C-alpha cells in the first residue's frame, strides 16, 4: 500500500484540475480541493482506491472576514495501512453548501449535522440534515466567529434560556497560579473567589 504522501500525489494526478499538491507538516499530509462541489468524488476515490476506510473527523473552520469563509476538513485514516490523510475544501458564505459524504462514510452523517448546527454550512443530499446539538427552530449558529460571546436571547421558554447566557468568563475559565487542580476547578469555587 502507498503511504499517505504517495497516495496524495496520486490524488493530485487523477484530479489535477482541482486537487492541490500535497503539503506535509510534522508527518501529517494534507491536500486541498479547490472545487467544493467535487469533494464527495475525491473522498470516494480516497476510500476506494486509497484504502482510507475510516472517517475519523469532519469539522468546519470559520475564516470570518475572508472569502470563501468556510473551510471543511475531512480527517481520514486507513485501517489496513495505518496512514492518516487530511482533505479540506473551502466554500463561500454565499453558497454555504457542499455535497454530503455520508454515502461514502456513514459516520459523516452526524459530523455533517454538527457542522450544519454550529456553523450553518449545509450538505446537499444528506439523508437527515437537522440540528444535532441545538433545538429545532434555533435561529443562530453558535460557532460562527460573529456570534457574540455574551450570547443571544432566546424566545423559547421552558426549552432554553430566555435571557442571554454569557459565555465570557464562563466555567471554562480557570484562575492562574492556584495551588492544585481541585481549587482550579470552577465548580468547587465559591462566588467570592
pLDDT in tens, 19-78: 999 999 998 999 999 999 999 999 999 999 999 999 999 999 999 999 999 999 999 999
SS3 label, residue 13? helix
Q: What are phi and psi of 88, to 5 degrees?
A: -135, 160
- Asked if residue 89 and residue 152 are part of one domain, the reply reads no
Do 32 and 116 belong together in one domain? Answer: yes
Please check whether residues 168 and 188 belong to one and the same domain.
yes
Distances 145 to 76, 150, 192 between C-alpha atoms, Å? 26, 12, 31
Category of 158 on φ-ψ map: left (φ > 0), alpha (ψ -120 to 50) or beta? left
CA distance 162 to 190: 25
Shared-domain flag, residues 122 and 183 = no
Task: Report residue 30 as a C-alpha cell.
Answer: 494534507
Task: Please check whether residues 28 and 120 belong to one and the same domain.
Answer: yes
pLDDT of residue 35: 96
CB 161 within 8 A of CB 154: yes
Distance of CA 4 to the CA centre of its chain: 21
Q: Does 37 share its domain with 122?
A: yes
Residues 116 and 41 placed together within one structural domain of the fold: yes
Asked if residue 160 has pLDDT above 60, the reply is no
Verify that 152 and 136 share a domain, yes or no: no
* Total domains present in the chain: 2
**Hey, is 57 helix, strand or coil?**
strand
**Which residue segment(s) compose the domain that 165 sits in?**
148-193
pLDDT tier, 157 (very low <50, low <70, confident <90, very high otherwise): low
Query: Both 126 and 163 in a single domain?
Result: no
Predicted confidence (pLDDT) per residue in 81-115, tens digit: 999 999 999 999 998 899 999 999 999 999 999 99
Domain CATH for 39: 3.30.460.80
The three-state (H, E, C) secondary structure of 79-141, written as one string: CCCCEEEEEEEEECCCCCEEECCCCCCCCHHHHHHHHHHHHCCEEECCCCCCCCCCCCCCCCC
Whether 73 and 39 share a structural domain: yes
Out of 123, 141, 159, a domain closes at 141
pLDDT tier at 171, thresholds 50, 70, 90 = very low
Largest distance between two CA atoms of the chain: 63
Q: Do 127 and 68 share a structural domain?
A: yes
Amino acid at each position: 500500500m502507498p503511504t499517505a504522501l504517495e497516495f496524495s500525489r496520486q490524488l493530485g494526478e487523477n484530479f489535477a484540475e482541482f486537487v492541490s499538491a500535497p503539503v506535509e507538516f510534522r508527518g501529517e499530509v494534507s491536500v486541498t480541493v479547490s472545487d467544493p462541489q467535487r469533494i464527495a468524488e475525491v473522498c470516494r476515490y480516497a476510500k476506494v482506491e486509497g484504502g482510507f476506510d475510516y472517517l475519523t473527523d469532519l469539522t468546519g473552520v470559520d475564516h470570518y472576514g475572508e472569502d470563501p469563509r468556510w473551510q471543511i476538513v475531512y480527517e481520514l485514516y486507513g485501517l489496513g495501512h495505518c496512514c492518516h490523510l487530511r482533505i479540506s475544501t473551502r466554500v463561500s458564505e454565499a453558497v454555504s453548501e457542499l455535497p454530503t459524504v455520508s454515502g461514502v462514510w456513514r459516520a459523516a452523517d452526524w459530523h455533517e449535522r454538527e457542522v450544519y448546527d454550529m456553523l450553518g454550512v449545509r450538505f446537499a443530499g444528506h439523508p437527515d440534515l437537522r440540528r444535532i446539538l441545538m433545538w429545532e427552530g434555533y435561529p443562530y449558529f453558535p460557532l460562527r466567529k460573529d456570534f457574540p460571546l455574551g450570547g443571544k436571547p432566546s424566545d423559547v421558554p421552558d426549552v432554553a434560556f430566555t435571557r442571554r447566557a454569557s459565555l465570557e468568563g464562563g466555567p471554562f475559565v480557570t484562575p492562574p497560579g492556584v495551588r492544585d487542580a481541585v481549587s482550579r476547578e470552577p465548580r468547587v469555587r465559591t462566588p467570592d473567589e
